[in-house]
Amino acid sequence: MGTSLDVNALADRTRRRQRREAFVTHACLALGVLIFAFPIYLTIIGSTHDVNTIGRGDVPLLPGGEAAANYAQAWGVGGGRFMGVPAGVMLFNSVIMAMCVAVGKIAISLTSAYAVVFFRFPFRMMFFWLIFITLMLPVEVRIIPTIQVMVDLNMTNSYQGLIIPLIASATATLLFRQFFLTIPDEYVEAAKIDGAGPIRFFIDVILPLSRTNVAALFVILFIYGWNQYLWPLLIVNDRSMETVVVGLTKMIGSGDSQNEWNVIMATAVLALLPPVAVVVLMQRWFVKGLTETEK
């Protein structure tokens, strides 16, 4: 190395560089957070003002006083140019749909994965591949014939119609299968020695072990169900069955300036609350679940 002077200079540069780097890191992350928070912030602010302020184009950056009125209207009456549906109703539909999709998918996938992993029976692998293939068929690709099936079965405009077709896709089943494969054989052997049958084993051993996976999947599937767009759009004509994501866009129509923007924004905020709450509250399981599923 060089003289003591060089080392001191290097040390100084290092210290300064480290401070600079920490600053840059904070700045970048803060900017990122801002970019994602700002649209929401704007919308929340907008939902607290009256329709004229927004319609005029005076975009407010600070809260106004109309929050109570707007949210009451959004919840109870609805808004938008075209006879709106009350957000209360739409939220209810969304909650039912998301909860049932999440719970239903988890239930079905648990039992299917259990069957495929812990038993041997003819066509076992064929069934597994059949389920696996559905990964490659997003609903948008078979949308029209699926609607046709629903019409034939008289399931349009109903909760069943909204929920059931979404329940069977493969991601959850694959996740559980992968997880079940990591459960040591010794557990099954111990259960057999103890005299427990497959159903007992499922309830007493498998379910408790699967708790984290179930929690993670719940978040993922709840969001999936809540955020559905094309499917509810087509399957539901009766406005009282509308979900809030679809209903919101219908309220906007073609984006006329004459819309009741304040109510629309309030509805948007309401539409965001449940899914965001679920993600934030269950964040740890959720992240774990996401990154383990796909790998």
Residues near another protein (CB under 8 A), total: 107
284: which 2 tokens? Answer: 């740890």
Stretch that binds another protein, among 70-78, 79-87, 207-215, 275-283 (CB under 8 A): 275-283
Question: Hunting for tokens 């106004």 — which residue is that?
Answer: 64
Binding part of the chain for another protein, among 62-70, 72-80, 193-201, 207-215 by CB under 8 A, reads 193-201
Among 235, 245, 263, 266, binds another protein (CB under 8 A): 245
User: Smallest distance, Å, CB 69 to another protein?
Assistant: 19
Q: How far is the CB of 168 from another protein (least distance, A)?
A: 4
Nearer to another protein, 33 or 72 (CB): 33
Q: What is the C-alpha separation between 11 and 17, in angstroms, rounded?
A: 10
Q: Which residues, at least 6 apart from 146, have a Cβ–Cβ distance to it below 8 Å?
A: 139, 165
Residues 109-168 close enough to bind another protein by CB under 8 A: 109, 111-112, 114-122, 124, 127, 130-131, 134-138, 140-146, 148-149, 164-165, 167-168
- Shortest Cβ distance from residue 107 to another protein (Å)? 8
What is the sign of the dihedral through the CA atoms of 248, 252, 258 and 261?
positive
CA distance from start to end of the chain: 47
Minimum distance of another protein from residue 65's CB (angstroms) = 19
Closest among 159, 167, 98, 162 to 131, alpha carbons compared? 167
Residue 202 near residue 114 (C-beta atoms within 8 A): yes
Q: Using CB under 8 A, which of the segments 63-71, 77-85, 209-217, 227-235 binds another protein? A: 227-235
Q: Virtual CA dihedral for 57, 63, 69, 74, nearest 10 degrees?
A: 70
Compute the least distance from the CB of residue 220 to another protein, in Å.
9
Distance CA 143, CA 217 (A): 25
**Pick from 62, 68, 193, 199: which binds another protein (CB under 8 A)?**
199
Q: Binders of another protein among 31-90, rule CB under 8 A?
A: 32-33, 35-37, 39-40, 42-43, 46, 54-55, 57, 59
Residues 8-37 that bind another protein (CB under 8 A): 10-12, 14-15, 21-22, 25-26, 28-30, 32-33, 35-37
Candidates 63-71, 75-83, 206-214, 262-270: pick the segment binding another protein (CB under 8 A).
262-270
Instruction: State in angstroms the smallest separation of the CB of 249 from another protein.
Output: 4
For residue 207, state whether it binds another protein (rule: CB under 8 A). no
- Give the C-alpha separation, 222 to 148, whole Å: 26
Output b/e per residue, 83-116; b: 16+ Cβ within 10 A.
Answer: ebbbbebbbebbbbbbbbbbbbbbeebbebbbbb
